């Protein structure tokens, strides 16, 4: 789909406009298969087939502050991954402020369930699903991997996500988060969504492995959050790696994730090829 095919979203900020232009340029020639998952155009996925499927599937979730973005933003990441035998699925989700938490999470959970049921049709292995994302997408990917209260509703295995690879994500909302503004996707403060939406709230010893990336010149509060999140995961015995993307700011950390010979692609490919699931149970 093209951005003009979607319902109008919030106007871009200056940084958002710059990012939108660049990632659409980078992914302009990348073609995928669009699949609708709901009545809202944002409830959809795009599948990018691997040249020679090797099994692993990497689901990508776009950023945009939960108020902006398109699944097409992640298209530029696909070629470097599909060339390595990784099947790529990019998720769309409903946006704030029209839709507040947990709408974004619920849409991504539904997309994971679709991937598990249908990715074999595209050459991927449903037993090798990993999830990644940038910024707001990094937050959602981490939350999907840690929360254990959505799999039963979607009738998927409890360990359907084999690992998470968030990039420049937010892992804590509310007091101590360092955020200068309260994200609008959290909705009315009376809803109390800060804790439920915070991946740090859901850390568990049997969580899947994490590869946590951030730019060396990223927003300071995101660097602090990433390091703290990694420390808390490791303290619980979760296999955790961090990757500091040299000389990258918040946007450049995303662009770097599409570089075929870049640090993130090398680390991500090695990560998804060497995961060790910690759980084997399925929902009843």
pLDDT at 246 over 50: yes
Tell me: the pLDDT tens digits for 54-71?
Answer: 999 999 999 999 999 999
Q: Is residue 6 part of a domain?
A: no
Among candidate residues 197, 68, 211, 45, the one with its CA nearest the CA of residue 122: 45
pLDDT at 8 over 90: yes
Among candidate residues 214, 139, 145, the one with its CA nearest the CA of residue 172: 139
Q: What residues are labeled active site?
A: 135, 218, 250
Among candidate residues 142, 134, 136, the one with its CA nearest the CA of residue 26: 134
Count structural domains, the chain: 1
Q: How many CB atoms lie within 10 A of CB 39?
A: 6
What is the model's pLDDT at position 283? Answer: 33
Q: Is residue 37 part of a domain?
A: yes
Rounded distance between C-alpha atoms, residue 154 and residue 198, angstroms: 21
Tell me: the pLDDT tens digits for 191-223?
Answer: 999 999 999 999 999 999 999 999 999 999 999
Find the mean pLDDT for residues 84-112.
Answer: 98
The answer to whether the predicted template modeling score (pTM) of the entire model surpasses 0.85 is yes
Which pair of structure tokens corresponds to residue 6?
A: 């979607």
Q: Is residue 281 part of a domain?
A: no
Question: Is there a contact between 193 and 184 (Cβ–Cβ < 8 Å)?
Answer: no
Question: Is there a contact between 225 and 191 (Cβ–Cβ < 8 Å)?
Answer: no
Percent of the chain with pLDDT over 70: 96
pLDDT at 279 over 90: no
Q: Is residue 3 part of a domain?
A: no
Q: Is residue 114 part of a domain?
A: yes
Rounded distance between C-alpha atoms, residue 192 and residue 237, angstroms: 29
pLDDT at 35 over 70: yes
What is the model's pLDDT at position 275? Answer: 66
Q: Is residue 253 part of a domain?
A: yes
What is the model's pLDDT at position 274? Answer: 83
Question: Is there a contact between 198 and 175 (Cβ–Cβ < 8 Å)?
Answer: no
3-state secondary structure of 3: helix
Q: Give the CATH number for residue 164.
A: 3.40.50.1820
Q: Is residue 176 part of a domain?
A: yes
Find the mean pLDDT for residues 141-170.
Answer: 97
What is the model's pLDDT at position 276? Answer: 46
Q: Is residue 280 part of a domain?
A: no
pLDDT at 76 over 80: yes
Q: Residue 114 belongs to what domain range?
A: 14-273
């Amino acid at each position: 789909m093209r951005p003009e095919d979607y319902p109008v979203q919030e106007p871009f900020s200056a940084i958002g406009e710059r990012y939108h232009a660049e990632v659409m340029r980078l992914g302009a020639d990348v073609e995928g298969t669009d699949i609708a998952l709901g009545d809202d155009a944002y409830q959809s996925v795009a599948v990018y087939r691997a040249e020679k499927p090797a099994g692993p599937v990497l689901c990508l979730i776009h950023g945009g502050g939960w108020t902006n973005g398109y699944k097409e933003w992640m298209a530029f990441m696909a070629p470097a991954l599909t060339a390595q035998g990784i099947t790529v699925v990019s998720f769309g989700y409903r946006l704030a402020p029209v839709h507040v938490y947990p709408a974004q999470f619920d849409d991504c959970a539904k997309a994971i369930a679709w991937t598990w049921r249908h990715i074999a049709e595209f050459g991927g292995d449903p037993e090798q699903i990993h999830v990644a994302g940038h910024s707001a997408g990094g937050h959602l990917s981490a939350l999907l991997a840690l929360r254990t209260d959505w799999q039963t509703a979607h009738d998927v295995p409890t360990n359907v996500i084999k690992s998470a690879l968030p990039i420049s994500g937010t892992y804590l909302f509310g007091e101590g988060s360092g955020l200068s503004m309260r994200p609008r996707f959290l909705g009315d403060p009376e809803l109390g969504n800060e804790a439920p939406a915070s991946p740090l709230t859901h850390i568990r010893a049997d969580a899947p492995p994490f590869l946590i990336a951030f730019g060396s010149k990223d927003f300071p509060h995101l660097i602090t959050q990433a390091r703290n999140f990694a420390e808390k995961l490791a303290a619980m015995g979760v296999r955790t790696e961090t990757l500091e993307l040299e000389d990258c700011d918040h946007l450049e950390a995303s662009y770097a994730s599409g570089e075929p010979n870049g640090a993130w692609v090398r680390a991500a490919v090695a990560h998804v090829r060497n995961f060790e699931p910690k759980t084997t149970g399925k929902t009843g």
